[in-house]
Structure 1
Amino acid sequence: MSRSERLVFFGTDGFSTAIFQRLIAADWPVVGVVTQPDRPSGRGQKKVAPPLKVIAGKYKTKVFQPEKVGKIIYELAALEPSHGILAAYGQIVPQSLIDIFPGGIINVHPSLLPKYRGASPIEAAILAGDHTSGISLMALNAYMDEGPVYSQRGVVLTGEETQGSLYERMAEIGGAFLVEKLPAIADGSLQPKPQDNSKATYTKLLKKDDGVIDWTKPAEIYERQVRAYCVWPKSRAKIAGYEVIVTKARLARDENNGQLVMTCRQAGRNAEPTYLEIIELIGPSGKHMSGRDFLHGYKK
């Protein structure tokens, strides 16, 4: 297999890092990595490098960290790249930058486009209770996940996935799928097909407030939310007057089973209440504990 291609990889987090490593393992020449700048993190607000930067450094790959990716067009053009690969980068790439790649930029997106365009497709699939999701390989354009699609691979969901576990699984599948299809994309034998924009749905960049539980939705929604948001933004709730983070939950038949069970009532409706059993949480002290321990130690 020819390795005359010269790839530039765009990404930031663990999802993109796993795909980058799969390319390296398959001997694809990555001549540059574009990732986000180091950001302050934690209580000390020390600057922390993105995971992709750390891994790229181990392979001695040249790294770029622009605040705005459109400002490094000339630097990337100097690398004489043939194709770009993008996975969870976090910035919109302008057409002027896409145009420096003779073969374009290939986006590895964790949904079956045009469903779930945008920043949080994995979380959206869990939150919706979807039975299937997938990976799309698409030709990037200057709009939000609107480019034509080279190929897709479906992924069956069990209904037990968490945000973390599904990210890992999608990264593994996405990396393998990319390596499988990249030769045909690179030599032009696999051509992309336009998306049906009339069927497009969109996801948003998640914020801390998206994780708030106020007990006004069905318990089924909150059970999914706990799994979908367990890494970020986490599911925050008030129980017995205490602010907690719910880390594991399941549906309950009623509120009198001797466990920590919350009643969920739909605001403004006459529907019957539903019940959510809190299995694990982070308590007011920041300590991880079972719902039962919280029930005995905090709830009055």
Structure 2
Amino acid sequence: MEKIKVIFCGTPQIGADILTALTEMENVEIVLVISQPDRPVGRKKELKPTPVKEVALLNNLKIIQPVKISEAYDEIAKIESDFIVTCAYGQFVPTKILDLPRIDSINIHGSLLPKYRGGAPIQYAIKNGDSETGISIMKMVKKMDAGDYYIQESIKIEDCDDTGTMFEKLAKLGQKMIKENLVKIYNNELRPIAQNEDQVTFSKNISTEEERINWDDSTVNVWNHIRSLSPWPIAHTFKGEERYKIQKVKILNNNVEQKPGTIVDINENGINVQTNNGQVQIQLIQKPGKKMMEASAYKLTNLSDLKVGDYFE
């Protein structure tokens, strides 16, 4: 068979992993890569290429990075393609571009649609305490993540998982699925399945305010909230006007029934904090202006900015 011509759109690491899988397929030719513009990162605000761009450059692929993809319509329209494949691109792709490929425009989405349409499906699955999530390969339409899906596969969310580990697991699952199914879609061997609109839920991008820990919630919900934001953008809490970032906690069976947010104990294992029905132990914490560190350091090195009886608001 002739090679399947693919235009790929993506930006972060999970997109780079899918692009890598496509480059490994002997029957696929990547005719164009589209990624978000490079962004300044770090304290020095140095421009850093997106992970997708790095893969494109490594494989000598043509890449464009329009501020708005609609502005690149004429350039994209000149390129003959069978598919547009997207994964975590970060922009809405207009219908006039979705209609350009000969066969279809498809998206690799990190949830079991119709659950968690939107930009943060992995975070919401963990935050809500789901036991599983997965990958959907779906047709792209104008309405967000509303297209029929060709295939889905699920994967368990373990207690040890956070958003970082689930991104890695879902990237591997997505790589496997695109390799197994792109040719089937090309050959019309998979029939699209309509989403059940009665079961739709959404996962909007998480705001800075929503990253804040609510200590007056259950122990399990506090634990899920923190791991859903680890290792980025990281949950936070305040003591007075000082903001502390908290990346990892574990659930304790203790409950001394103090006010939620109260530091109950500081020991060689971490910092115990009251919730509304129990306690969690902070294991990784970042004080203002410092690096992330083991919370046990507060006991072992006699750090003085937090002490038993202090209160996280």
TM-score normalised to structure 1 length: 0.92
What is the aligned counterpart of 1:292 among 271, 275, 296?
296
Q: Which residue pairs with 1:236 in the alignment?
A: 236
SS of residue matched to 2:169? helix
What is the distance in 2 between the residues matched to 1:297 and 1:240? 17
Whether the aligned pair in 2 keeps the contact of 1:207 and 1:233 (CA below 8 Å) is no
Q: Which residue pairs with 2:170 in the alignment?
A: 170
Whether the aligned pair in 1 keeps the contact of 2:214 and 2:222 (CA below 8 Å) is no
What is the distance in 2 between the residues matched to 1:94 and 1:257? 54
Q: Which residue pairs with 1:268 in the alignment?
A: none
What is the distance in 1 between the residues matched to 2:231 and 2:143? 28
What is the distance in 2 between the residues matched to 1:107 and 1:30? 16
Q: Which residue pairs with 1:75 in the alignment?
A: 75
2:63 is equivalent to residue 63 of structure 1: yes
Q: Which residue pairs with 1:186 in the alignment?
A: 186
Whether the aligned pair in 1 keeps the contact of 2:213 and 2:226 (CA below 8 Å) is no
Q: Which residue pairs with 1:264 in the alignment?
A: 275
Cα drift, residue 170 of structure 1: 0.2
Change (3 A) 1:66 1:186: same
TM-score normalised to structure 2 length: 0.88
- Structure 2 counterpart of 1:262, one-letter code: V
Structure 2 residues not aligned, in runs of 5+: 255-263, 308-313
Q: Which residue pairs with 2:12 in the alignment?
A: 13
- Structure 2 counterpart of 1:293, one-letter code: A
Cα drift, residue 58 of structure 1: 1.1
Q: Which residue pairs with 2:23 in the alignment?
A: 24
What is the distance in 2 between the residues matched to 1:3 and 1:282? 54
RMSD, matched Cα: 1.7
Q: Which residue pairs with 1:4 in the alignment?
A: 3
Measured against aligned partners, the alpha-carbon deviations of 1:210-249 in whole angstroms (never above 9, x if no partner) come to: 2112422222112112211013221111358753211210
What is the distance in 1 between the residues matched to 2:136 and 2:147? 11
SS of residue matched to 1:244? strand
SS of residue matched to 2:22? helix
Q: Which residue pairs with 1:270 in the alignment?
A: none
SS of residue matched to 1:29? strand
Q: Which residue pairs with 2:260 in the alignment?
A: none
What is the distance in 2 between the residues matched to 1:284 and 1:148? 46
How many percent of aligned residue pairs carry the same amino acid?
27
Q: Comparing 167-176 with 37-46, which one deviates more in the overlay?
A: 37-46
Q: Which residue pairs with 1:159 in the alignment?
A: 159
SS of residue matched to 1:32? strand
What is the distance in 1 between the residues matched to 2:48 and 2:75? 24
What is the distance in 1 between the residues matched to 2:120 and 2:298? 32
Q: Figure out how many residues of one structure are paired with residues of the other and give that number.
A: 292
Q: Comparing 109-118 with 205-214, which one deviates more in the overlay?
A: 205-214
Q: Which residue pairs with 2:121 in the alignment?
A: 121
Structure 1 residues not aligned, in runs of 5+: 266-272
Cα drift, residue 178 of structure 1: 1.0
Whether the aligned pair in 2 keeps the contact of 1:7 and 1:85 (CA below 8 Å) is yes
Whether the aligned pair in 2 keeps the contact of 1:110 and 1:121 (CA below 8 Å) is yes
Whether the aligned pair in 1 keeps the contact of 2:265 and 2:273 (CA below 8 Å) is no
Q: Which residue pairs with 1:246 in the alignment?
A: 246
What is the distance in 1 between the residues matched to 2:293 and 2:61? 43
Measured against aligned partners, the alpha-carbon deviations of 1:43-81 in whole angstroms (never above 9, x if no partner) come to: 222222211111101111111111111222221121111
Cα drift, residue 143 of structure 1: 1.0
What is the distance in 1 between the residues matched to 2:91 and 2:275? 38
- Structure 1 counterpart of 2:281, one-letter code: E
- Structure 1 counterpart of 2:248, one-letter code: K
Displaced runs of 4 or more, over 3 A: 239-242, 255-259
